[in-house]
């Protein structure tokens, strides 16, 4: 996988891994893997999905609580996950490793213009 991010301490820009459904040099990924899509479809019908309170706090999500812990409705969880995926997709500046090979010599951070970046 290839996670591209800025090293400027005053900038927090980063993008998700390069997309590559077939694997490859950086073993890329796609958020539309069949197992992920199936999991989201199944989650739609869950009355309660339990997570640690820290998950809700870190994500700024509302939750309810019962004797078993903190939970949210499946529909709310799926909506949250799809919104997260949409933000990630909008933020991608270089989609694939092939695109990266074409721009890496001249790459600058799209947020701050720094050429101090890294790829993990």
Residue 68 lies in a domain: yes
Residue 20 lies in a domain: no
Tell the residue number behind the tokens 């701050």, with chain if given: 112
Q: How many domains does the chain have?
A: 1
Residue 40 lies in a domain: yes
Phi, psi (degrees; rounded to nearest 5) at 81: -65, -40
**Distance, CA of 19 to CA of 85 (rounded, Å):** 13
Residue 66 lies in a domain: yes
75-112 pLDDT per residue, tens: 999 999 999 989 888 888 988 888 888 998 999 999 99
What percentage of the chain reaches a pLDDT higher than 70? 92
Q: Return the pLDDT at 50.
A: 98
Residue 2 lies in a domain: no
* Domain membership of residue 50 as a residue range: 31-91
Mean of pLDDT values over 68-81: 97
pLDDT bracket for residue 65 (50, 70, 90): very high
Residue 21 lies in a domain: no
Residue 74 lies in a domain: yes
| CA end-to-end distance (rounded Å), the chain | 7
Is the model's pLDDT at 60 over the cut of 90? Answer: yes
Residue 5 lies in a domain: no
Q: Return the pLDDT at 30.
A: 75
20-53 pLDDT per residue, tens: 766 555 455 677 777 888 999 999 999 999 999 9
Contact 93/99 with Cβ under 8 angstroms?
Answer: no
**Distance, CA of 109 to CA of 50 (rounded, Å):** 38
């Amino acid at each position: 996988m290839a996670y591209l991010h800025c090293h400027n301490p005053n900038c927090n820009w980063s993008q998700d891994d390069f997309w590559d459904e077939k694997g490859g040099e950086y073993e890329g990924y796609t958020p539309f893997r069949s197992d992920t899509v199936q999991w989201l479809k199944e989650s739609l019908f869950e009355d309660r999905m339990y997570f640690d309170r820290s998950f809700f706090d870190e994500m700024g999500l509302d939750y309810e609580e019962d004797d078993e812990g903190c939970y949210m409705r499946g529909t709310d969880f799926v909506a949250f996950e799809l919104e997260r995926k949409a933000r990630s997709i909008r933020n991608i500046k270089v989609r694939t490793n092939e695109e990266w090979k074409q721009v890496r010599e001249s790459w600058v951070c799209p947020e701050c213009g720094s050429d101090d970046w890294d790829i993990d």
